[in-house]
Structure 1
Amino acid sequence: MDMSETVYVSKVNSSTETILVVDDDTDILALLEMSLTSDGFNVITASDGMEGLERAKTDLPDLILLDVMMPYMDGLQVIEKLKSDSDTSAIPVLWITAKSQTEDKLKGLETGGDDYITKPFDLREVSARINAVLGRTRPVKYINPLISAMGEGFSEEGVAELGSHLQAAAEIQMKLLPDKPPVYPGFEFATMFRSSTSVSGDLYDFIPLSETRIGVVLGDVKGHGIPAALLMVMIQTASRLLCNETDSPSTVLKRINTLLFHNTDLEQFATMVYGILELDTGLFTYANGGHCPPIHFISRKDKTGTPNHNRPKIALLETGGMLIGAFDIATFSSDTCQLSPGDVLILYTDGVTETEGVKPNDFYGEDRLIECLSRKLDQSAETL
């Protein structure tokens, strides 16, 4: 029985940086806002120095584009106040100046500006200079608060050592994940993993159960960093020990839940999907512990039985259960999904649907994910 389906695991990293543009020329404001937004930045604007100073204090942007000549309060006065305030002193500033304002360029750099852009400017140069400055200042943004939180006895050298340990942990974590998707006749498997931090609590796995059955695991541990990664390792180890050919997915999730509940802190828990795919029939039996519902794209067939990916029927595998490790008495139910030739099955974490766009609280969402994938169903699993 020739079958073609996709098991796709995705985790997206998104970290939108905010840029404050301060200029009394509305045309320049509109142009820079449009250009920087298309570059993926979150852009806020102010039309004079006083307003710009207030926006900087309330929004704490990652970078400020600041015009020199403005009414009420010029750019030099603004930057002096920014640098005298501990909350805003580390925000990098790029000057917007005219060619003839050489003296202002020098004053701006002496006052604390990081670079300058000369009018009329090339938008490509603006983008390049912004990325160059952010590339230099990002480490300061994260390391300085960390050093402050750790106290006077901690140093930048200590942070560097901690960073090396985190890097080692990230490398170990990646080695625990499958090197590549499994290969079975009639099926296509593909995975994609992008962590928003150096180490994370996301996991996926493929567990051979027999010649005709394979277990598929996708999990997402609450939180980030080393604690989440350690819990991820515990779940992955438990999955490999407990998943077998005879026990149902719901039984396996219940056992993993019991293990986590009695061996972790109360605030530690995870979401998880575990399914068993029968390679000879295409039957997918699954259980869900508080995770995003998998998406089943059911291809329509033409008169000859050939799959047609135009306007597929979409089914969410909504049978669910409780969070893994949160409650001692937790219930889980198994359900089935029949995969046919040309069908696509998507498993994903909330890092996809909760990715925030340019506008605040504009999350990618399940509907956009479905719409995006619906246009690509005729592609290979790897391309998807």
Structure 2
Amino acid sequence: MTVINDFKLFLKIKGAWILLIGMFLYGIGTGILAPMNAVYMRDEIGLSKIEIVSIFSISLLLNMVTTMVVGIISDKIKRKKRLPIFACIVCMAGLLIYMNAATYVITLMGMVFAVAPSGLIMGQLFAMARNHFMTLAPDIYEMAQIWLRATFSVGFFTGLLVGANLYMIGEFKSVLWGNFLGYAALFVVLIIYKEYEAQSSISSVKGETFSLVMLFALLFLACADALRGLYLPLVVVQLFKAPQIMSYLWSVQAVFELAFMTVAGYWANKFGSKPVIMIGSIGALITYILYSVQPPLWVFFLAQPLYSFFVSVLYGVAMGYVQRMFHTRIGFGSSLYVFLSQTASLIGYFLPFFIPGYQPRIFIIPSILVCASIILMVGLVFIHRVRAKKNSQSVGITG
């Protein structure tokens, strides 16, 4: 089979294992804290809903600025590795401040240092990986990127399980130390990793036509996912009174993520990125509707595989789509995608203020966002087909 042969070739790429280990460890470190961050601020530090959202928003704004500034200048830097190495150090310093915070100001300071450089890490890791794979395995570099992103997801969901168990052992402090060790492990891996510079052949790679409409459509999808990421843990805790359930709930996706990313990647190569993104969006819409009707716990678990396909498309296929729009500026293209998801997170944090509390009806908002995204994509496809039909008719007349 082509998939198996390509995957074997991927594993044989020199240095691929270092990238996989680094991405897996980074995923673990991120996943350990992700579902409990907002809960920690509310229950352990005692912050209000407005204070929690303001901390996330301010730190995210600085993260966005850092990501784009570094993305713009990174293509002029031959050796990008120093950027994520420095970012790891700053993140670890921020976590040390955060885990000792007792007030709003100290919590904000810790989160700013812990979060602001994280987009830089992800963007530059994928920029380095793209150069790496295009140099050593140009025939499968797109799938190699998707498998690398899938490895982050597997690490993330492993981190969710680790975080749930750390919480039961030592509550929130042990969870924070687990997150710290994730960054420390990534720091060590980056020191070991041998970076490859961009090749001149990159400019000859086929890119995607720039489309502002598609960027907005992806932004709406990312907004919906960001809203779910922040508020689903709070809704689940409100409904079922157990913070660790969220870690187990998200970890169900790990079983499906790698397979779904692989399938979505090959479908995108065969049928194009837009149809696959639309199919994934429909899966997300069904999931959000199920969330909004306050179902029993087993429905939340049952919906996870369906949502996992959407996540696989959003963070695999869509990432490659945006990168191909700027295929001659890899650092900028990778950073732009991260910036897009960060912008979505910022918007997603504020939208639920239209609905008080942490009720399941919050998920009506991402349902609307996904519908808007689907309408944009369908409209774009329709316009392209009309234009293509007109062009073919004009060619037939002149011929």
Which TM-score applies when normalising by structure 1? 0.24
Q: Which has the higher strand share?
A: 1
Q: Which has the higher helix share?
A: 2
Which TM-score applies when normalising by structure 2? 0.23
Larger radius of gyration: 1
